[in-house]
Amino acid sequence: MSTGELLNIEPRELKFAFELRKQISSSLTLLNKTDNHVAFKVKTTNPKKYCVRPNTGVVQPGSTCDVTVTMQAQKEAPPDMQCKDKFLLQSVVTSSEATAKDITPEMFSKEAGHVVEDCKLKVVYVSSSQPPSYVTEGSEEGSSPRASHLDFGSRNSSEGSQRSFPDSHDKSSEVQALMSKLNEEKTAAIQQGNKLRQELELLIRGSGNRSQGGVSVKFVAIVGLISVLVGYLMKRT
Protein backbone atom coordinates (compact mmCIF):
# COMPACT_ATOMS: atom_id res chain seq x y z
CA MET A 1 0.00 0.00 0.00
CA SER A 2 1.18 3.50 -0.82
CA THR A 3 0.38 5.89 2.02
CA GLY A 4 0.37 9.56 1.07
CA GLU A 5 -1.02 12.66 2.72
CA LEU A 6 -4.19 12.53 0.61
CA LEU A 7 -4.80 9.02 -0.72
CA ASN A 8 -3.94 5.47 0.23
CA ILE A 9 -3.33 3.46 -2.94
CA GLU A 10 -3.54 -0.32 -2.92
CA PRO A 11 -1.70 -2.16 -4.39
CA ARG A 12 1.47 -0.24 -5.24
CA GLU A 13 2.13 -2.46 -8.28
CA LEU A 14 -0.23 -3.21 -11.15
CA LYS A 15 -0.06 -6.98 -11.50
CA PHE A 16 -1.26 -8.74 -14.65
CA ALA A 17 -1.61 -12.51 -15.07
CA PHE A 18 0.04 -12.34 -18.48
CA GLU A 19 -1.27 -14.49 -21.32
CA LEU A 20 -0.60 -14.02 -25.03
CA ARG A 21 -3.49 -12.73 -27.14
CA LYS A 22 -5.68 -12.11 -24.12
CA GLN A 23 -7.04 -8.84 -22.74
CA ILE A 24 -6.32 -8.63 -18.99
CA SER A 25 -7.31 -6.14 -16.29
CA SER A 26 -5.90 -5.12 -12.93
CA SER A 27 -7.43 -2.82 -10.31
CA LEU A 28 -6.42 -0.15 -7.81
CA THR A 29 -8.31 1.04 -4.75
CA LEU A 30 -7.98 4.70 -3.76
CA LEU A 31 -8.90 5.65 -0.17
CA ASN A 32 -9.36 9.30 0.76
CA LYS A 33 -8.15 9.57 4.35
CA THR A 34 -8.69 13.34 4.63
CA ASP A 35 -11.67 15.56 5.41
CA ASN A 36 -11.39 17.18 1.98
CA HIS A 37 -12.51 16.21 -1.49
CA VAL A 38 -9.53 14.88 -3.46
CA ALA A 39 -9.25 14.95 -7.25
CA PHE A 40 -7.00 12.42 -9.00
CA LYS A 41 -5.61 11.77 -12.48
CA VAL A 42 -3.86 8.67 -13.89
CA LYS A 43 -1.09 8.80 -16.52
CA THR A 44 0.98 6.10 -18.20
CA THR A 45 4.18 5.91 -20.26
CA ASN A 46 2.47 3.58 -22.78
CA PRO A 47 -0.97 5.02 -23.61
CA LYS A 48 -1.60 2.80 -26.68
CA LYS A 49 -1.32 -0.35 -24.60
CA TYR A 50 -3.70 0.42 -21.73
CA CYS A 51 -7.21 1.63 -21.05
CA VAL A 52 -7.87 3.29 -17.66
CA ARG A 53 -11.36 3.57 -16.14
CA PRO A 54 -11.80 6.14 -14.71
CA ASN A 55 -8.66 8.08 -15.56
CA THR A 56 -9.84 11.09 -13.53
CA GLY A 57 -12.25 11.50 -10.65
CA VAL A 58 -13.05 12.98 -7.25
CA VAL A 59 -12.93 10.91 -4.04
CA GLN A 60 -15.08 12.17 -1.20
CA PRO A 61 -13.77 12.30 2.39
CA GLY A 62 -13.41 8.84 3.92
CA SER A 63 -14.57 7.18 0.67
CA THR A 64 -12.89 4.82 -1.79
CA CYS A 65 -12.72 4.68 -5.57
CA ASP A 66 -11.79 1.70 -7.72
CA VAL A 67 -9.69 2.25 -10.84
CA THR A 68 -9.49 -0.47 -13.49
CA VAL A 69 -6.48 -0.69 -15.82
CA THR A 70 -6.97 -2.93 -18.86
CA MET A 71 -4.06 -4.15 -20.97
CA GLN A 72 -4.86 -4.98 -24.57
CA ALA A 73 -4.05 -8.43 -25.97
CA GLN A 74 -0.32 -8.81 -26.63
CA LYS A 75 1.12 -10.77 -29.57
CA GLU A 76 4.45 -11.54 -27.87
CA ALA A 77 5.87 -11.67 -24.36
CA PRO A 78 8.66 -9.27 -23.27
CA PRO A 79 12.14 -10.67 -22.53
CA ASP A 80 12.25 -12.40 -19.14
CA MET A 81 8.64 -11.26 -18.58
CA GLN A 82 9.91 -7.87 -17.43
CA CYS A 83 7.73 -4.85 -18.19
CA LYS A 84 9.11 -1.30 -18.27
CA ASP A 85 5.71 0.42 -18.36
CA LYS A 86 4.90 2.78 -15.50
CA PHE A 87 1.89 4.67 -14.21
CA LEU A 88 1.67 7.96 -12.33
CA LEU A 89 -1.31 8.74 -10.09
CA GLN A 90 -1.58 12.40 -9.09
CA SER A 91 -3.92 13.76 -6.43
CA VAL A 92 -4.81 17.24 -5.21
CA VAL A 93 -7.33 18.79 -2.81
CA THR A 94 -10.35 20.27 -4.57
CA SER A 95 -13.62 21.96 -3.65
CA SER A 96 -16.56 20.00 -2.29
CA GLU A 97 -18.64 20.93 -5.34
CA ALA A 98 -16.10 19.58 -7.84
CA THR A 99 -16.95 16.58 -10.02
CA ALA A 100 -15.00 14.58 -12.57
CA LYS A 101 -16.19 16.97 -15.29
CA ASP A 102 -14.54 19.88 -13.48
CA ILE A 103 -11.06 18.35 -13.48
CA THR A 104 -8.54 20.13 -15.70
CA PRO A 105 -4.80 19.62 -16.33
CA GLU A 106 -4.09 22.94 -14.61
CA MET A 107 -5.33 21.51 -11.29
CA PHE A 108 -2.25 19.23 -11.23
CA SER A 109 0.27 21.91 -12.22
CA LYS A 110 2.93 22.35 -9.56
CA GLU A 111 4.21 25.41 -11.40
CA ALA A 112 0.88 27.09 -10.65
CA GLY A 113 1.49 26.63 -6.94
CA HIS A 114 -0.81 23.65 -6.41
CA VAL A 115 0.20 21.01 -3.86
CA VAL A 116 0.18 17.84 -5.93
CA GLU A 117 0.84 14.40 -4.51
CA ASP A 118 2.49 11.92 -6.93
CA CYS A 119 2.51 8.14 -6.70
CA LYS A 120 4.44 6.06 -9.22
CA LEU A 121 3.19 2.54 -9.96
CA LYS A 122 5.11 -0.23 -11.70
CA VAL A 123 3.65 -2.90 -13.97
CA VAL A 124 4.46 -6.51 -13.06
CA TYR A 125 3.66 -9.66 -15.04
CA VAL A 126 2.94 -12.75 -12.97
CA SER A 127 2.37 -16.37 -13.89
CA SER A 128 -1.15 -17.07 -15.11
CA SER A 129 -1.16 -20.28 -13.02
CA GLN A 130 -1.24 -18.12 -9.88
CA PRO A 131 -3.25 -15.07 -10.93
CA PRO A 132 -3.50 -12.07 -8.61
CA SER A 133 -6.73 -10.39 -7.69
CA TYR A 134 -7.74 -8.49 -10.78
CA VAL A 135 -10.94 -7.40 -12.47
CA THR A 136 -11.98 -9.72 -15.28
CA GLU A 137 -12.71 -8.42 -18.73
CA GLY A 138 -16.13 -6.81 -19.01
CA SER A 139 -16.50 -6.16 -15.26
CA GLU A 140 -18.57 -3.18 -14.19
CA GLU A 141 -16.47 -2.47 -11.11
CA GLY A 142 -15.24 1.08 -10.57
CA SER A 143 -16.88 4.28 -9.44
CA SER A 144 -17.01 5.94 -12.84
CA PRO A 145 -17.99 4.74 -16.34
CA ARG A 146 -15.30 6.85 -18.01
CA ALA A 147 -12.51 5.15 -19.91
CA SER A 148 -9.64 6.48 -21.98
CA HIS A 149 -6.08 6.01 -23.17
CA LEU A 150 -3.62 8.23 -21.35
CA ASP A 151 -0.09 9.47 -21.65
CA PHE A 152 1.92 11.90 -19.56
CA GLY A 153 0.19 14.63 -21.53
CA SER A 154 -3.22 13.17 -20.54
CA ARG A 155 -5.77 12.62 -23.32
CA ASN A 156 -9.33 12.20 -21.99
CA SER A 157 -12.20 10.45 -23.71
CA SER A 158 -15.81 11.56 -23.49
CA GLU A 159 -17.76 10.43 -20.43
CA GLY A 160 -19.44 7.08 -20.71
CA SER A 161 -17.11 5.64 -23.36
CA GLN A 162 -15.65 2.20 -22.89
CA ARG A 163 -12.96 1.09 -25.29
CA SER A 164 -12.39 -2.57 -25.94
CA PHE A 165 -9.70 -4.30 -27.99
CA PRO A 166 -10.27 -6.75 -30.81
CA ASP A 167 -9.31 -10.36 -30.35
CA SER A 168 -6.70 -11.53 -32.88
CA HIS A 169 -8.40 -14.97 -33.07
CA ASP A 170 -11.51 -13.37 -34.65
CA LYS A 171 -9.44 -11.73 -37.37
CA SER A 172 -7.58 -14.98 -38.07
CA SER A 173 -10.86 -16.90 -38.54
CA GLU A 174 -12.19 -14.28 -40.95
CA VAL A 175 -9.00 -14.38 -43.03
CA GLN A 176 -9.06 -18.19 -43.20
CA ALA A 177 -12.71 -18.20 -44.31
CA LEU A 178 -11.99 -15.62 -47.02
CA MET A 179 -8.95 -17.53 -48.30
CA SER A 180 -10.98 -20.77 -48.45
CA LYS A 181 -13.73 -19.05 -50.47
CA LEU A 182 -11.20 -17.54 -52.88
CA ASN A 183 -9.53 -20.93 -53.39
CA GLU A 184 -12.90 -22.53 -54.18
CA GLU A 185 -13.69 -19.81 -56.73
CA LYS A 186 -10.24 -20.13 -58.25
CA THR A 187 -10.60 -23.93 -58.63
CA ALA A 188 -14.02 -23.58 -60.25
CA ALA A 189 -12.70 -20.94 -62.65
CA ILE A 190 -9.72 -23.10 -63.63
CA GLN A 191 -12.02 -26.06 -64.31
CA GLN A 192 -14.26 -23.88 -66.49
CA GLY A 193 -11.20 -22.61 -68.34
CA ASN A 194 -10.01 -26.13 -69.05
CA LYS A 195 -13.44 -27.03 -70.40
CA LEU A 196 -13.47 -24.01 -72.70
CA ARG A 197 -9.93 -24.79 -73.85
CA GLN A 198 -10.98 -28.35 -74.83
CA GLU A 199 -13.96 -27.02 -76.78
CA LEU A 200 -11.69 -24.53 -78.53
CA GLU A 201 -9.28 -27.31 -79.58
CA LEU A 202 -12.15 -29.38 -80.97
CA LEU A 203 -13.47 -26.37 -82.86
CA ILE A 204 -10.04 -25.62 -84.32
CA ARG A 205 -9.69 -29.21 -85.54
CA GLY A 206 -13.16 -29.08 -87.06
CA SER A 207 -12.50 -25.84 -88.86
CA GLY A 208 -9.15 -26.90 -90.24
CA ASN A 209 -10.57 -27.39 -93.73
CA ARG A 210 -12.36 -24.03 -93.71
CA SER A 211 -10.99 -20.85 -95.21
CA GLN A 212 -9.39 -18.21 -93.03
CA GLY A 213 -12.45 -16.02 -93.33
CA GLY A 214 -14.79 -18.76 -92.22
CA VAL A 215 -14.27 -18.52 -88.48
CA SER A 216 -17.60 -19.18 -86.76
CA VAL A 217 -19.33 -16.95 -84.23
CA LYS A 218 -18.94 -19.70 -81.62
CA PHE A 219 -15.17 -19.64 -82.10
CA VAL A 220 -15.02 -15.89 -81.50
CA ALA A 221 -17.28 -16.21 -78.43
CA ILE A 222 -15.11 -18.90 -76.86
CA VAL A 223 -11.96 -16.86 -77.41
CA GLY A 224 -13.66 -13.90 -75.74
CA LEU A 225 -14.74 -16.02 -72.76
CA ILE A 226 -11.23 -17.32 -72.27
CA SER A 227 -9.87 -13.75 -72.29
CA VAL A 228 -12.41 -12.71 -69.64
CA LEU A 229 -11.58 -15.79 -67.55
CA VAL A 230 -7.85 -15.10 -67.67
CA GLY A 231 -8.46 -11.53 -66.56
CA TYR A 232 -10.65 -12.75 -63.69
CA LEU A 233 -7.99 -15.19 -62.48
CA MET A 234 -5.33 -12.48 -62.63
CA LYS A 235 -7.40 -10.27 -60.31
CA ARG A 236 -8.24 -13.06 -57.87
CA THR A 237 -4.64 -14.26 -57.51
Instruction: Write out the DSSP string of 143-154.
Output: S----B---TT-
DSSP tag of 55: S
Using CA atoms, how far apart are residues 54 and 100, in angstroms rounded to an integer?
9
Residues 55-84: what's their mean pLDDT? 95
Residue 116 pLDDT grade (very low, low, confident, very high; cuts 50, 70, 90):
very high
Using CA atoms, how far apart are residues 138 and 91, in angstroms rounded to an integer?
27
Task: Give residue-wise pLDDT tens across range 209-225.
Answer: 554 455 565 666 666 67
Q: What is the strand order of the sheet 7-10 is part of?
A: 2-3, 7-10, 24-32, 64-71, 50-53
Task: Give residue-wise pLDDT tens across range 35-49.
Answer: 999 999 999 999 999
What sign has the CA pseudo-torsion 136, 83, 6, 112? negative
Using CA atoms, how far apart are residues 135 and 143, in angstroms rounded to an integer?
13
Q: What's the whole-number average pLDDT of the chain?
A: 78
Dihedral angle computed from the Cα positions of residues 81, 22, 40 and 10, in that order, rounded to the nearest 10 degrees: -60
Q: What integer pLDDT is reported at residue 146 of this predicted model?
A: 40
Residues 117-125: what's their mean pLDDT? 96
Q: What integer pLDDT is reported at residue 163 of this predicted model?
A: 41
Indicate yes or no: pTM above 0.75: no
Residue 16 pLDDT grade (very low, low, confident, very high; cuts 50, 70, 90):
very high
Chain centroid to CA 202: 58
Q: What integer pLDDT is reported at residue 161 of this predicted model?
A: 36
Q: What integer pLDDT is reported at residue 127 of this predicted model?
A: 78
Dihedral angle computed from the Cα positions of residues 228, 233, 235 and 237, in that order, rounded to the nearest 10 degrees: -170
Peptide bond between residue 61 and the one before it cis (omega within 30 degrees of 0): no
Q: What integer pLDDT is reported at residue 187 of this predicted model?
A: 80
Q: Is the pLDDT of residue 192 over 60?
A: yes
Residue 131 pLDDT grade (very low, low, confident, very high; cuts 50, 70, 90):
very low
Q: What integer pLDDT is reported at residue 159 of this predicted model?
A: 38
Using CA atoms, how far apart are residues 6 and 10, in angstroms rounded to an integer?
13
Contact 28, 11 (CB under 8 A): yes
Q: What integer pLDDT is reported at residue 186 of this predicted model?
A: 76
Using CA atoms, how far apart are residues 74 and 55, in angstroms rounded to an integer?
22
